[in-house]
């Protein structure tokens, strides 16, 4: 069995704070003469953590790019990390910071200067999933029979991810955070986020920027905000909770058995309740009171509260340690094409109700590629990654039919493409890649990988080989809201 350690970094630029970590990931090749070769990350170790910085902003609308670049350069020097040795990781902008005017420009600028294969990513669903991985919620869900919800509350948002049997199954985001209202020590409201204005009005909180807020008013507001959040998560939505949603979930949330709180507010839940407005506003916001109110309110709901393994650094640990996967060990890849970043994933079920029907699959494939041309920038190359899911068993005849249809439809819709990427849910990438290459004759080049979990995330990045033929992979979202 071969071992290979790779260096991964994480940079989390949040509403209130910015964190940086360096970790080592152990990639091992597995398999013997009785089984197919495999490859997996078997150990993850944090080797460096930065101090927690206040996120540098030029104003309420812009992030300070120069200050962030200097921060990253300083932390690379302090951690004794060399750019050429970084093979994985993520730069992620979270919370309200992701809505700053220059957020998208900055995240790509930083990613290009962070290492050979560091992804640029933002989006509330992915934030929640990464935080849940970093806090221990994903691992906890492997040890109980129910659903574990990780609630990561920072300065601008509460990102919730639901885990079951070690997998992220749902995600939802609320406008709940410590810096949504900023105050002076005597209670003057300096800033009120427009994201919570409808909820404030619906719940009878008539506060305005420049006005005064008493301790009692703020305590009532924090309790009501937490009640809205927890009532929604426990299936009995109250206090106009839907007005706090970033967007409604695609389906009703699964019943939650346990909740883990992470993020800066999760960390402050461990502290005593502030008694005066001066104590509440020690950071210039309502964070400490929101945290103590959450501790009190959560006891009223029929759900177990579990301690987090990590609170404040949960997202950056998830980004730096858990964002990276490895592909299967038997894949079809032209290494000269790598790395490839930001390729949209088109998920196409191969079977329907457990049955392989060639005509039905052909229609799904054709419609999906047609939709790709309408929704994505198909001038990029490759234009998309075709992800084949729902395959119970692939015969030789079925594999040849898949290759025929993939080649025909891809060339029909993207005749100028120089590369075709196919992701297989099951262990069949080598054989399918060879069948496709025979038909394509290098026009386009073919990359075919397998054993990648693409359930969550809209895009994929393909990195360099990390052990044998296996490559590093990150499935993510690039949604800026």
Q: Please spell the DSSP secondary structure of 224-252, one letter per residue.
A: HHHHHHHHHHTT---TTGGGGBSS--SSP
H or E segment at 41? Answer: strand 38-49
pLDDT at 131: 81
Q: Is residue 225 packed enough to be buried (19+ CB in 10 Å), middle (13-18) or exposed (0-12)?
A: buried
pLDDT at 376: 67
Positions in the chain whose pLDDT score sits under 50: 1, 34-35, 320-322, 479-481
CA distance linking residue 376 with residue 386, whole number of Å: 13
At 199-227, the pLDDT tens digits run: 999 999 999 999 999 999 999 999 999 99
pLDDT at 58: 87
User: Which is nearest to 169 in space by CA: 200, 197, 137?
Assistant: 137
**Tokens 């994480």, residue located:** 10
CA distances from 310 to 65, 131, 133, 398, 476 (A): 28, 9, 10, 47, 22
In sequence order, the 6+-apart residues with CB closer than 8 A to the CB of 473 are 324, 325, 326, 327, 449, 452, 460, 461, 462, 463
CA distance linking residue 358 with residue 356, whole number of Å: 6
**Tokens 């990590």, residue located:** 310
User: Collapsing DSSP states into helix, strand and coil, what is residue 359?
Assistant: helix
φ, ψ (nearest 5 deg) of residue 200: -60, -45
């Amino acid at each position: 069995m071969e071992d290979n350690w790779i260096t991964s970094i994480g940079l989390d630029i949040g509403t209130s704070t910015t964190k940086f970590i360096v970790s080592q990931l152990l990639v091992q090749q597995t398999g013997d003469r009785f089984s197919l070769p495999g490859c997996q990350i078997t150990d993850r170790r944090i080797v460096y953590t930065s101090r927690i910085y206040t996120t540098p902003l030029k104003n309420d609308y812009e992030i300070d790019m120069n200050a962030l670049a200097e921060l990253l350069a300083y932390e690379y020097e302090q951690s004794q990390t060399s750019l050429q040795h970084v093979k994985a990781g993520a730069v992620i902008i979270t919370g309200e910071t992701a809505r700053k005017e220059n957020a998208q420009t900055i995240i790509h600028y930083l990613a290009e200067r962070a290492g050979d294969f560091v992804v640029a990513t933002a989006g509330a669903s992915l934030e929640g999933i990464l935080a849940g991985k970093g806090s221990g919620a994903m691992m906890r869900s492997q040890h109980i029979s129910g659903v574990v919800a990780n609630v990561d509350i920072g300065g601008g948002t509460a990102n919730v991810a639901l885990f079951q049997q070690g997998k992220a199954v749902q995600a939802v985001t609320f406008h709940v955070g410590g810096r949504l209202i900023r105050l002076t020590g005597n209670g003057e409201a300096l800033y009120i986020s427009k994201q919570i204005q409808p909820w404030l009005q619906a719940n009878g909180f008539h506060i305005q920027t420049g006005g005064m807020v008493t301790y009692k008013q703020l305590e009532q507001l924090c309790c009501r905000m937490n009640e809205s959040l927890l009532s929604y998560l426990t299936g009995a939505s109250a206090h106009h909770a839907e007005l706090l949603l970033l967007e409604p979930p695609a389906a009703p949330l699964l019943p939650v058995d346990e909740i883990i709180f992470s993020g800066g507010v999760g960390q402050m839940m461990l502290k005593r309740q502030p008694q005066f407005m001066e104590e509440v506003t020690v950071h210039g916001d309502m964070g400490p009171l929101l945290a103590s109110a959450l501790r009190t309110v959560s006891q009223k709901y029929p759900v177990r509260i579990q301690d987090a393994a990590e609170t404040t650094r949960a997202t950056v640990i998830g980004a730096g340690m858990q964002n990276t996967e490895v592909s299967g060990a038997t894949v079809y890849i032209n290494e000269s094409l790598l790395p490839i970043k930001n390729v949209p994933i088109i998920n196409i079920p191969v079977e329907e109700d457990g049955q392989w029907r060639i005509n039905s699959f052909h229609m799904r494939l054709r419609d999906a590629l047609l939709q790709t041309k309408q929704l994505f920038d198909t001038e990029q190359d490759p234009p998309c990654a075709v992800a084949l899911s729902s395959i119970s068993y692939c015969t030789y005849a079925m594999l040849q039919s898949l290759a025929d249809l993939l080649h025909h439809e891809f060339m029909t819709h993207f005749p100028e493409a120089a590369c075709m990427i196919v992701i297989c849910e099951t262990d069949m990438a080598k054989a399918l890649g060879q069948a496709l290459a025979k038909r394509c004759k290098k026009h386009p080049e073919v990359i075919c990988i397998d054993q990648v979990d693409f359930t969550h995330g809209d895009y994929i990045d393909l990195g360099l080989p990390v052990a044998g033929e296996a490559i590093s992979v990150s499935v993510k979202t690039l949604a800026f809201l």
